[in-house]
Structures are given as structure tokens and as C-alpha cells.
Amino acid sequence: MIILQLVLYCALFTLMVKIAVGNNAINGLYFYPKPVQDRAIEIGLTNRETMNRKKEQFMIPFFIVMLTSLVLVIGLWNHISDFRPAYRQALLFLEVMNWYDGIVIDKLWAGTDRFWILPGCEDIPYVQTWKQILRKRLLLTLIWLFGAVIVAGIVVLFFGKGFLYLKLK
């Protein structure tokens, strides 16, 4: 069951990225390295204000949806209400998402699909090297050790003998 949940969670991640960019990779310019962003702005593909607005329009709902779905999977679907098992599951989901993002989204999808090549920016590397991916993902692995604490705390708050438990009593 957990494998299915992880696949669905990563599929949700992918769907949200695809919805954000639509049919034009310039809509996801904020995903690109700064030199690509600067060139795209310089040659008039977009402007910094539009890029920043699109980033905000994506990131806020993205975090809300991914956090909410994770809390619901752990607390509602898996019926976990204690901190330690909630933490372990949150950490598993966050780490799988982390590595999925780096390997599947960044390296495989963006690195092999011509969709992501912006006109006028073809000469600038826009996909991280394996070394860069490894470094970034290892750093995020450490960050998610703490992020999982927050997720587990929310799970316990809503599905443990906390807030909802007292309200329903």
C-alpha cells in the first residue's frame, strides 16, 4: 500500500509542475538556474516581475497541496496518530519526493525533453549535473529531517489525541 501511496504522491508532484508550466516552459522559468533566467529576461521572453508572480502563484498552492495530501495520507488513509510513526512516514514521503524531484523531474524529464529548452537559451546549461543534483538532494535530505517533524506534528494535532480528538469528545 505504501508503494502505491508514494507513486500517487510523486504523480501529484508531477501533475502540479505540468499544470504550472502548461504548454510553455517559460511559465516555469523560476525552476531554471539564474543564468537561464537572466538570459530569458534579457532577450524578452518574459520579465522578472512576471516570473516572480508565476513562482508565487505556483509555490504557495504547491506547498499547501503537497502538505495537505501528505497529512491526509498519513493520518486519514494510514490511520497514524502517534508522533513517531507519523514522523517515519513523513520522512519517507519527503525523501522520496526529494530524490524523485532531482532524478526524475530535473534530470530525466527536463534533461531529455526538448520542451524545456528555451529559445535563445540553448547554449546555457539548464539541467544540473549529477554532482550538483547529489549535493542539493543530500542537503535537502538533512532539511527534510526537520520538515518531517512539522508534518508529524500536524498529523498528531489533527489525527492524534489532540485537537480533533478533544473536539469530537
Amino acid 16: pLDDT: 97
High-pLDDT (> 70) share of the chain, %: 95
The full set of domain ranges for the chain reads 2-168
Residue 159 has pLDDT above 60, yes or no: yes
Q: In sequence order, which residues have a C-beta less than 8 Å from that of residue 26 and are 6 or more positions away?
A: 40, 45, 46, 118
* pLDDT value of position 161: 75
pTM metric for this prediction? 0.91
pLDDT averaged over every residue in the chain: 95
Res 169: pLDDT: 46
Can you give the pLDDT at residue 162? Answer: 59
Distance of CA 32 to the CA centre of its chain: 15
| For residues 125-153, average pLDDT | 97
User: For 61-90, what is each residue's pLDDT tens digit?
Assistant: 999 999 999 999 999 999 999 999 999 999
Which grid coordinates belong to 132?
Answer: 550538483
Average pLDDT (96-111) is 97
Q: Which residues contact 127 (CB under 8 A, 6 or more apart)?
A: 106, 107, 110, 111, 116
How many whole angstroms separate alpha carbon 25 and alpha carbon 18?
9
- In this prediction, residue 163 carries a pLDDT of 54
Q: Taking residues 22-40, what's their average pLDDT? A: 97
